[in-house]
Structure 1
Amino acid sequence: MGKKLEGIQRMLVIINKLKERQRYVPREELEEYVRLRMEERDATPVDIRTIQRDFKNIEDLFGICIRFDKKWSGYYINEEDSLINEQYERLLLNFDLLNALDKTSNLHTYVLAEHHRPSDTECLPALIKAIKFSHPVAFDYIYVREEGRMRKKKVLPHYLKEDQQRWYLLAYDNNMLKTFNVDCIRNLRIYYEETFKRDMDIDANDLFKDSYGIWNQPDIPIEDIELSYSALDGRFLKSVPLHHSQKIIADNETEFRITLRLRITNDFVMALLARSSSLTVIKPLHLRERIRKVYEEALQRNT
């Protein structure tokens, strides 16, 4: 990694830390944070003098002023601009993803990305590194549907996949390939002293080709689906298809009708409800009934 690129990365890491909810960051804490984040990127070791020199460059390049408060013994960002805040958080993530891989790597062998920006997360660089060098990882995982219950996991990471601006880890857990929401991962640890043989025969894209999003359940059958929408909704669905299998069979002033072929999962039903104002399910009948029940229950709750 070049010195100039390394310096920009380091500055973005500093900004990221100082934008946390914590108002004042002690010198030792900031130094340790920057050191760990740059180690993850195989960068040159840094000390507090290097970080302090970066403060001046941050102000010159980004217009962000970093000050030290003697009373609270910590660094803080002075008069932070919320728009700049959002822009540089996203920029930081892009640097993380690009530079966690060296220039000779093929991005698609580690990351399965969609065509929109993901949510920010600090886990991504460490997970990419673990995947790249075949190191097991351990973490505490939050099960949202179990009222936030947390369980410890040790898995063999294989891919990262983005879906609807969220990142998911595809990893073997007790010899089963599972999907983990990166937002639900806490206390990530890489086992640098251990390695495993990464299964390169997995066709990761094929795993999800018959599903909507990242919910892949082979026990749910693949079905032919036919849906009808208004012409207005049709214009949106032409620009952003529901699924790669989408085919247009009617497109006129009164109706936009499509067919799809995929598994009818909860994620897919939720996607249909998101544009339900003009939706008519033609087939299968059980999907039509499922949507009708959702409408009925919602009506009962709101009357």
Structure 2
Amino acid sequence: MGRKIEGLQRMLIIINRLKGMQRYVPREELERYVTLRMEERDGTAVNIRTLQRDINEIEELFGIRIHFDKKQGGYYIDEEDELKQEQYNRLLLNFDLLNALDSTSNLHTYVLAEHHRPANNECLPQLLKAIKFSHPISFTYVYVREGGITREKRVHPHYLKEDQQRWYLLAYDNGELKTFNVAYIRNLRTLGGETFKRNMNIPINELFKDCYGIWNQLSIPVEDIELSYDALDGSFLKSVPLHHSQEIIIDTKEEFRIRLRLRITNDFVMALLSRSRSLTVVKPLHLRERVRMIYEEALTRNL
């Protein structure tokens, strides 16, 4: 079983490398890349014979044809198979995560995952390994809301959480649990010579219970919210609720009304706007006013 998992790891690393921006990847470069990624996963080095065998098995298992162009001097994925990218993206993400852990691990103790493959996920395996073995990490973090300034961070990583196709790191920064968008992490380094005691008592299910998405801003109160839609929008909201607290209070041909209880963050307001064709905010009034002002300003900008 271990050898089979290692083979799958190599194959998925090869696919990840060849579907990048570089059209043709030289044999030696691909060999070095796969070896480096396997060493990060406690795997073994690869040679050209192993690489060629994996390439053949990739076509059998995934239906992805990899060719070697002698003129360009590199491997590439057949253009026809690039059209299949959406079909195997989810599979790649699942293996990215599972292969960063060994077969005896409980994935849910490290990852709070949905099933998408977001961009900028190259450091996920390294983050998972640091969490698993309780190694501190350091990185440069880009603060987009502050004009792109950067700060150096040294943290104790505890969880990865996905929200709306973005990955976030939950880590202790000077004793305080904080959230970092993985897409804005630069120069990630694992401090392999150090360990910390991982806090297994974090009430993870409670942590995000009263928020929409990842930002649980405790300074914002939890409020009762009532929203009204027409029946068409209601059919979508019944199949994909806005929040786990969603409760249907009216469901007729004329109206679909729901009650929610959560913190009204910017992320929640943006979610309301994304399905606002028939939206009426019944309460609270300050949310109704906030939505109205957003549309008034948008109307002014787009006259």
How does the TM-score come out when normalised to structure 2? 0.92
Amino acid of the structure 2 residue aligned with 1:64: R
Amino acid of the structure 2 residue aligned with 1:144: V
**Structure 1's 79 and 296: CA in aligned 2 closer, same or farther, altered over 3 A?**
closer
**Structure 1's 292 and 146: CA in aligned 2 closer, same or farther, altered over 3 A?**
same
Counterpart in 2 of 1:75?
A: 75
Counterpart in 2 of 1:30?
A: 30
Percent identity reads 72
Counterpart in 2 of 1:18?
A: 18
Amino acid of the structure 2 residue aligned with 1:65: I
Could you tell me how far 1:117 is from its partner in structure 2?
Answer: 2.2
Q: Can you list the C-alpha shifts for 1:86-142, whole angstroms capped at 9, x where unaligned?
A: 33343222112122222332222111123x324252221111111111011122222
Could you tell me how far 1:63 is from its partner in structure 2?
Answer: 4.1
Could you tell me how far 1:187 is from its partner in structure 2?
Answer: 2.5
Counterpart in 2 of 1:94?
A: 94
**Counterparts of 2:187 and 2:254, CA distance in 1:** 53
Q: Can you list the C-alpha shifts for 1:254-303, whole angstroms capped at 9, x where unaligned?
A: 11111111111000000111111111111111111111110110110011
CA contact (8 A) 1:138 1:153 kept: yes
CA contact (8 A) 2:64 2:81 kept: no
* 1:83-162 alignment, distance < 5 Å: 83-114=83-114, 116-120=115-119, 121-162=121-162
**Structure 1's 157 and 68: CA in aligned 2 closer, same or farther, altered over 3 A?**
same
* 1:36-47 alignment, distance < 5 Å: 36-47=36-47
Where structure 2 has 5 or more consecutive residues not aligned to the other structure, the ranges are: none
Mapped pair 1:191 → 2:181? no
How many residues of Structure 1 are paired with residues of Structure 2 in the alignment? 301
User: Is the deviation greater in 285-294 or in 97-106?
Assistant: 97-106
Counterpart in 2 of 1:163?
A: 163
**Counterparts of 1:272 and 1:206, CA distance in 2:** 23
Amino acid of the structure 1 residue aligned with 2:297: E
> RMSD of aligned C-alpha atoms?
1.9
Counterpart in 1 of 2:287?
A: 287
Secondary structure, aligned partner of 1:81: helix
CA contact (8 A) 1:9 1:92 kept: no
**Counterparts of 2:107 and 2:75, CA distance in 1:** 36
Counterpart in 2 of 1:233?
A: 233
Could you tell me how far 1:27 is from its partner in structure 2?
Answer: 3.3
How does the TM-score come out when normalised to structure 1? 0.92
CA contact (8 A) 2:35 2:44 kept: no
**Structure 1's 2 and 189: CA in aligned 2 closer, same or farther, altered over 3 A?**
same
Could you tell me how far 1:6 is from its partner in structure 2?
Answer: 1.6
Secondary structure, aligned partner of 2:248: strand
CA contact (8 A) 1:138 1:188 kept: yes
CA contact (8 A) 1:23 1:76 kept: yes
Secondary structure, aligned partner of 2:161: strand
Counterpart in 1 of 2:67?
A: 66
Secondary structure, aligned partner of 2:75: strand
Counterpart in 1 of 2:302?
A: 302
Amino acid of the structure 2 residue aligned with 1:258: I
Counterpart in 2 of 1:213?
A: 213
